[in-house]
Amino acid sequence: MKPTEKFNSHIKRILISEEEIQQKIVETGRQISEEYRDKPLLFISILNGSFVFISDLCRAVTIPCEVAFMCARSYYSGTVSTGNVSITLDVSQDLSKYHVIIAEDIIDTGRTLHDIIELLKKRNPLSVKVITLLDKPSRRIVDMKADISLFTIPDLFVVGYGLDYAEIYRNLPYIAEYEE
């Protein structure tokens, strides 16, 4: 099997098209630009999954803003969060000077984001909100609700637009259902 055939054979169907994503991002960019007018705004993009989303979202925002990146890993014993989040890449900004918007690709169990928010709040930002491209509420384990969620999806494993399966498929321009 050629690499391209292997790549496509696991894509069951397109769940959210490129056009649908772009349209929602333009609306959201407009909404954020109004809400944060004259406020120091910092986007914190959670890597790796949200790199595509943040690159389109920040270009749909028409007010000054900063973009920074964070990479985090949470540790759990069984289904219980130990509250240990290990930061492998951190932002350098003094958060007490910013209104922060955390940008995620998907909220699944909610654990990773829960720990990141707790950690960032300790740095006294002016405010913290969460924006997620996708929300899978049926899988939630910890109480976590995004302030802005672009699409709510059923309990499926999805890839594309930054989301991976074993680090592959991030470069698909749409969100697709992955099948083994």
* One residue of 16, 163, 172, 175 binding ligand IMP per CB under 6 A: 163
Provide, rounded to whole angstroms, the least separation between the CB of residue 98 and Mg ion: 22
Provide, rounded to whole angstroms, the least separation between the CB of residue 49 and Mg ion: 3
Stretch that binds ligand IMP, among 18-26, 61-69, 83-91, 107-115 (CB under 6 A): 107-115
Instruction: Name the residue with tokens 């900063």.
Output: 66
Strand partners, 70: 46
Stretch that binds ligand IMP, among 21-29, 58-66, 118-126, 151-159 (CB under 6 A): 151-159
Instruction: Name the residue with tokens 């491209």.
Output: 133
Question: Quick one: what does residue 115 bind among Mg ion, ligand IMP, none, with the CB cut-off 5 to 8 Å set by partner type?
Answer: none
Question: Quick one: what does residue 158 bind among ligand IMP, Mg ion, none, with the CB cut-off 5 to 8 Å set by partner type?
Answer: ligand IMP
Distance CA 123, CA 140 (A): 26
Contact criterion met (CB below 8 Å) for 154 and 162: no
Stretch that binds Mg ion, among 72-80, 102-110, 141-149, 171-179 (CB under 5 A): 102-110
Tokens representing residue 121 in the block: 């709040």
- Give, as ranges, the residues between 12 and 51 that touch ligand IMP (CB under 6 A): 49
Strand partners, 81: 76
Provide, rounded to whole angstroms, the least separation between the CB of residue 14 and ligand IMP: 14
Question: Quick one: what does residue 160 bind among ligand IMP, Mg ion, none, with the CB cut-off 5 to 8 Å set by partner type?
Answer: none
Pairing label, strands 80-89, 99-107: unpaired
Distance CA 69, CA 42 (A): 10
List CB contacts of 148: < 8 A, sequence separation 6 or more.
28, 31, 32, 129, 130, 131, 132
Strand partners, 68: 44
Tokens representing residue 94 in the block: 């003094």
Query: Is there a catalytic annotation at residue 108?
Result: yes
* Closer to Mg ion by Cβ: residue 119 or 126: 119
Point out the residues that are catalytic: 108
Contacting residues toward ligand IMP, per CB under 6 A: 49, 104-113, 157-159, 163
